Structure 1
């Protein structure tokens, strides 16, 4: 029986039209013998506007549910199928060639690493790409390093949560994504790093689409009062987990 990587995608109506390109990038991934992927697409809501873009592929499961934000959609999607690892792929993004195999190789080789992230390239509307200055070196991310950097750099982490690849048992133990209207993936990343070492791959693993309708470009995303509240609860959760001194893997 093949071992399985679960790809989790939250989607809403405006981003559904990008699903075919995400699917193409997933189909082009090559995995070691004995491994397969299964794609969970969870609509944040119940409309008739997303299903037409869902690929007709037995490796794809589509679900719908009442609106709760991307964190709720991703967490609910985990109920539909099992696997040893979970990879995030937002509906409007694309994996680069070899991304899944690189992520898998790191976690299979070192049980003390709980999660991986990778370099991101912005995918601009004209098809060009642009990198981020100041990416860390290829290698491990020690416990607490993400929170320290995030706090010292205006609530910006040095690694991107949209590239997350994580052990499923660790993800579930932390309750999945945070129940926040935004920054739910950053909240998970900081929580993961509070209890586990991670890894950063300096090879680009994701094309992060920039487009007019993306959620992070909306005014509500940068509303000061909501943003301050999100950042406060994200930090408090990460520090509480660190104070409990729970570690993955358990020793």
Structure 2
């Protein structure tokens, strides 16, 4: 078979990256039917550079957000399969071949996810071989979103049937996956792999880098879909699992917030994310700098112990007790 797919690229002020994104799509084999770019009110040279690179461009004068941009591109597309590529990401050479192999393996799929590599100088030259796929259902998706924006192939027909992308500015993809996974007939229609197909830019300046906004948007989605995802479980169990999932969300967000170089004091309070009193209090204690240093020391000790027996016990003590220089305070 020859895979028929369109590549959709929402873009805003992307003059420095849009040409590379478009070129990476057009270089694939099989080649996409069309590369469609939506310029979401850009005032720089995004439109000019996207057209010069070979894309068809929708030049909107008003910035209406990524949800509206993706929905417009979905409506203008016509191929049976779609890939939404962020304007600062690139497809790896060989990604198209993996897309085709994945569709051959799961011709009735609605969503086929793949992995990513970070945007560094050490990225692999080409996508590697296709690894076994893992099925994704609503409950597992609610517990953790495995799909990577820019690395997920979407069947157009069910996407249109459920109304397409929501008109929101954050977590558009996750909201879309949750709606698809909740559809009747979604069983064995969503699959994910970790083999990379994109070089992905994620840093503090991207929309993904706004951790506080992303966490609050994800909290809303998790609460909204909790009953459907946890259907069949007793009410108290659903409540406990929801609080645990929100606690994990808060903790993961704190780690990312600090990784982006921001102080923990500028992050959300646990109570802003997790209902109740007990779990937010526990999370506040765990976020203390002294507790964080102890947890990091314990993790280093565990790694050291797993590496095998050591004669130099003094060195072991030094490695497990001392926190690394410049470590964040939590």
Counterparts of 1:207 and 1:48, CA distance in 2 = 24
Larger radius of gyration: 2
Match of 1:229 among 220, 223, 232: 220
Contact 2:86 2:149 in 1 (8 A): no
Partner of 1:201: 193
SS in 2 for 1:90: coil
Contact 2:103 2:109 in 1 (8 A): yes
Could you tell me which runs of 5 or more consecutive residues in structure 2 were left unpaired when the two chains were aligned. 125-130, 233-330
Counterparts of 2:218 and 2:102, CA distance in 1 = 34
CA RMSD of aligned residues (A): 2.9
Counterparts of 2:71 and 2:190, CA distance in 1 = 21
Q: CA offsets per residue over residues 111-147 of structure 1, 9 Å max, x none?
A: 33211010111214xx2359xxxxxx73141432542
Contact 1:30 1:101 in 2 (8 A): yes
Q: Are residues 107 and 51 of structure 1, via their aligned partners in 2, closer, same or farther at CA, if it must alter by over 3 Å?
A: same
Number of corresponding residues: 219
Alignment of 1:5-44 (within 5 A): 5-13=5-13, 15-31=14-30, 36-44=32-40
Indicate whether 1:214 and 2:206 are aligned: yes
Counterparts of 2:90 and 2:3, CA distance in 1 = 23
Indicate whether 1:4 and 2:4 are aligned: yes
Q: Are residues 223 and 148 of structure 1, via their aligned partners in 2, closer, same or farther at CA, if it must alter by over 3 Å?
A: closer
Higher relative contact order (CA 8 A, sep 6+): 1
Partner of 2:59: 64
Partner of 1:134: none
SS in 1 for 2:33: strand
Indicate whether 1:169 and 2:160 are aligned: no
TM-score (norm: length of structure 2): 0.58
Counterparts of 1:142 and 1:223, CA distance in 2 = 22
Q: Which has the higher helix share?
A: 2
Q: Are residues 26 and 239 of structure 1, via their aligned partners in 2, closer, same or farther at CA, if it must alter by over 3 Å?
A: same
Q: Which has the higher strand share?
A: 1
Contact 1:10 1:70 in 2 (8 A): yes
Alignment of 1:6-155 (within 5 A): 6-13=6-13, 15-31=14-30, 36-45=32-41, 47-56=43-52, 60-65=55-60, 66-124=62-120, 127-129=121-123, 138-150=132-144
Shift of 1:16: 3.2
Shift of 1:61: 1.0
SS in 2 for 1:121: strand
Shift of 1:223: 6.4
Q: Are residues 219 and 227 of structure 1, via their aligned partners in 2, closer, same or farther at CA, if it must alter by over 3 Å?
A: same
Partner of 1:239: 228
TM-score (norm: length of structure 1): 0.74
Shift of 1:148: 4.2
